[in-house]
Structure 1
Amino acid sequence: MNKSIFSLSSVTLFLIVLSACNTGEEETNGASNGNESNENASNGDEVTLTFYSTMVEESSVEAFESIFEDFENENPGISIDGNFPSAAYEDTLRVRMASNDLPDLFDTHGWAKNRYGDYVADLSDMEWVEHFDESMEPLLKDENGKVYAFPVNQANDGIMYNATLLEELNIEVPETVDEWIAAMETIRDEADGDVAPLWIPGQESHNIGQVLDQLSTPLLVTDEENNYEEELLDGSFDWSNYTPLPETLIEIQEKDLLNVDVLTANEAQRAQLMSQSLIGFTFAGGAFGPTVQELNPEVEVGTMPVPAFYESDEPSWIGGERNTVAAYKDSENLEEAKMFIEFLAQPENAKKMAEATTLPAGVTNVEADNYYSEYYEEWSHITIQPYFDRVYLPGGMWDVYGSTGADLLAGSLTPEEVSEVMEGEYERLRRESEEEDAE
């Protein structure tokens, strides 16, 4: 009797063990079909951080990838999936924001507070915050002390120019729009039409928008007698005051100071053309100068603030927040994402990124030695103004800048019509923004 009970119990135990083994095998097979990575991430065994940035220049991307590798070596089990989608960046982030599924780490590209503020984690408890550059604090920190992102660098946008060519032609660096046009006329006349005094790669209309956005500041904000800040912010701005800007762009085109292929010129051509001294002035990013010198060490690229529209005013740097890294507050890997930001903020890494982007660092404990240092020092007395559209225009106006500028240069719109379109879109987008806020 006891022997029978023992045998039955043994069989039962065998079946239970067999069943458990089969169940475990099924779970293992299921994990191999996609669940394993999620389990590993939650257990801390293996984490992949998704990283998105607006950076496109090769030197900048390579510097980031080098820092990724160093971080991964110091933190086994954490890897970084770097993404640099160029022109598709903003649309990609908008789609992901709408589904509340942002990358673990991403660049707020000038919209840390206004667009992404509700989606980013507070970084105020990090060590690097004590080294915040005061010019960056209003852009990346609020009155409650929340820090929205780590500033990889600071934008100092102005106009790039062929310093070698200007010296050869005895042209002084212009400080007003009238002086700038006169300088371009000298280039046109002395170069017998071989050099584009101003070169804009308008195949992508946002490059035309960049010119108009930067020139809007001296036209409408910085001169005391022509300051429309209040009207722009409260919605009462008279857009006929904007008309002198498209008029200036048309004047430059009609005087043969603009590249004739402005609407088809590709940004990839720019460095090669400058290295051949076929460009006088252009609106380009920080890494432009070093790229040109690699192609031709005999050509030096300088940078200057945006010239003043009025004699009573002075030039302006346009800038503030350029590249940042923020952490998605609902990320399943938030702790690891913050670890990477702390790693990136270490002085040797912050210096590497500032120098790779040829821009000043965003923190005060880093002294970057970059290509334009002497120019930044020469113009250090000049005030840095924020990007015009980020402060004074509703979201969506950046595209309008580009499209109206392209239509203007194509002859489809007059300067007055450009102002009318800008006004209509400004009012429409303000209404939509107010309606969204009301909801």
Structure 2
Amino acid sequence: MNYKNFKRVLASFMFVPLSLSLISCSGSGTDSSGSESTAEEAESASEEKSTSKEKDSAEGTTLEVAVDFGDIRLEEFKSVIADFEKETGIKVQLTAPGADFETVLKTRMASNDLPDVWTTHGWSVMRYSDYLMPLNDQDWYGSITEDAKKVITDEEGNIYVLPATVGISAVMYNADVLEAAGVVPEEIRTTADFEEACERIKASGVTPIFIGGKEPSNGAGFINTYLLPMMLTNDGAAYPSAETLQDGTFDWQKTGTPVMQKFADYINKGYMNENYSTADTAEMQKALGEGKCGFIVRSILNLAVAKSYVPDANLGVLPVPYYEDGGKNMYQVGEGSCFGVWKDTKNKEAALQLLDYIATKNVIPGLCETEGSVPGLSGIDLGDSYATDAYYASIEQYEGNLMYDNVFDRQYFPSGMWSVMSEATTGIALDPSENGVKGAVSLLEENYIDKYEEAHAGD
């Protein structure tokens, strides 16, 4: 990707108001220009012939597609839909409820009246699988990447979405800062290695970790990507707790306290920026690019944005360290643009044709660019993509000792905990004392219990 263009695209994303209205578009039907066939059309003739039966049965139908996209992602997808309509003759009613997306889908789940196709925003298995069609028999199934497959496959081995893109969260670093401090990034394997790196970076006069805490979600992102998995759920976790987190018996006072104490320790040791509470996301990204910090933690989109601010920056990405010897380093993978088909749809052929179109018509690179994600299918050429290249290079460096897991709060917390994590980390940043930690743990415990009981009220 050209980073001047990326910065322009990013600016559009940041400043175009979020659309909360329902948006629909319809195409002009199949191309009937009658022009002489081109070489490209001749090459695709066999493919068109093989799918003519499905096209004949789907042409002229109207397909309802609901997405959780906004702004530039929505504009990109609207162009995809327009091309799909023109090529296939299938009409698409595209709806984008914005911030109300989850509420709309939950209401429609209750009445079993769902869109033909919708984006699952991280919940294809845990929330929507009972309503979605298994897609293991689709031609693109064998192309799903290993990292994507780990988070979209249920216990029976079924997948319910086309994972066009996935979001990767990890530890990003400024290579020049680490080199000046005598830190070799690919040698950071354990929590102890990471903390030793922080000590060396601090001794060199640079802030080890930067968090834009003015936007509290960055604090939540730090513990959600790094501390909570490392301490509780990863291979080699300090206090393995995956089962108790998911069955509602997690002991917050005994086991949650060390996690939040670790966050306070990083502040008290001077590992984090002093302006935590006043720095925003843009300042965090610029700090990484400008070499004012060693690490930031969250989506690797931040790596690309930092590079757009400082084109000459020498940056990289690392998986999350493991705590106990013998563990594995972890990349956190979240569903990006993932499309599922309602199991009771009356437009199955058209719905599957849309998924095939997204998978095979060079749609995925544009989706990746607008959301800063990586392809969920192999063999996709993104061109010049700094963040993606850094991610793939890291996979090679850590080959044989990597694990992939879902976004922590989606996998291990009841729905609704994100704002609570934001509040808890902000509280500790303002008061990293024992009392501050106790207050944060109590806040997390109370909300975790309430939300878990609410989610399982009908069990």
What TM-score range do you get, normalising by the shorter chain? 0.7 to 0.9
Aligned residues: 391
2:181 matched to 1:169?
yes
- Counterpart code for 1:378: Q
Matches within 5 A, 1:28-427: 47=62, 49-53=64-68, 64=77, 67-76=80-89, 78=91, 81=94, 83=96, 85=98, 90=102, 93=105, 105-133=117-145, 136-137=148-149, 139-142=151-154, 147-173=159-185, 174-191=188-205, 195-214=206-225, 215-221=227-233, 222-223=235-236, 226-239=239-252, 240-311=254-325, 313-319=327-333, 321-328=335-342, 335-346=349-360, 348-350=362-364, 353-354=367-368, 359-364=373-378, 366=380, 370-372=388-390, 373-381=392-400, 382-411=402-431, 414-427=436-449
- Counterpart code for 1:167: E
2:452 matched to 1:430?
yes
* Offset at residue 149 of structure 1 (A): 1.2
* Offset at residue 213 of structure 1 (A): 2.0
Percent of paired sites with the same residue = 26
Structure 2 runs not aligned, ≥5 long: 1-25, 30-57
Moved more, 330-339 or 289-298: 330-339
Match of residue 17 from structure 2: none
* Offset at residue 93 of structure 1 (A): 5.0
Match of residue 34 from structure 1: none
For residues 237 and 183 of structure 2, the distance between their equivalents in structure 1, rounded to whole angstroms, comes to: 29
Q: Is the 8 A contact 1:54 1:89 kept in 2?
A: no
Q: Is the 8 A contact 1:347 1:366 kept in 2?
A: no
* Offset at residue 111 of structure 1 (A): 0.9
Moved more, 289-298 or 249-258: 289-298
Secondary structure, counterpart of 1:284 in structure 2: strand
* Offset at residue 84 of structure 1 (A): 9.0
* Offset at residue 246 of structure 1 (A): 1.3
Moved more, 265-274 or 96-105: 96-105
* Offset at residue 124 of structure 1 (A): 4.5
Residues 120/234 of structure 1: CA separation in 2 closer, same or farther (3 Å cut): closer
For residues 359 and 171 of structure 2, the distance between their equivalents in structure 1, rounded to whole angstroms, comes to: 29
- Counterpart code for 1:401: M
Q: Is the 8 A contact 1:290 1:371 kept in 2?
A: no
Q: Is the 8 A contact 1:176 1:307 kept in 2?
A: yes
Structure with bigger gyration radius: 1
Moved more, 130-139 or 383-392: 130-139
- Counterpart code for 1:432: E
TM-score (norm 2): 0.71
Structure 1 runs not aligned, ≥5 long: 1-36
For residues 70 and 292 of structure 2, the distance between their equivalents in structure 1, rounded to whole angstroms, comes to: 26
RMSD of equivalent CA atoms: 3.7
Match of residue 17 from structure 1: none
Secondary structure, counterpart of 1:200 in structure 2: coil
For residues 305 and 78 of structure 2, the distance between their equivalents in structure 1, rounded to whole angstroms, comes to: 19
Moved more, 67-76 or 337-346: 67-76
In the TM superposition, what whole-angstrom CA distance separates every residue of 1:54-109 from its partner, at most 9, and x where no partner exists?
577x6x66764553454244235635747494x76556655665676665543322
Q: Is the 8 A contact 2:65 2:117 kept in 1?
A: yes
For residues 145 and 343 of structure 2, the distance between their equivalents in structure 1, rounded to whole angstroms, comes to: 24
Residues 401/291 of structure 1: CA separation in 2 closer, same or farther (3 Å cut): closer
In the TM superposition, what whole-angstrom CA distance separates every residue of 1:375-405 from its partner, at most 9, and x where no partner exists?
2221232122333333333223333222222
Q: Is the 8 A contact 2:152 2:161 kept in 1?
A: yes
For residues 372 and 200 of structure 2, the distance between their equivalents in structure 1, rounded to whole angstroms, comes to: 29
Q: Is the 8 A contact 2:232 2:238 kept in 1?
A: no
For residues 115 and 175 of structure 2, the distance between their equivalents in structure 1, rounded to whole angstroms, comes to: 41
- Counterpart code for 2:91: I
TM-score (norm 1): 0.74
- Counterpart code for 2:277: L
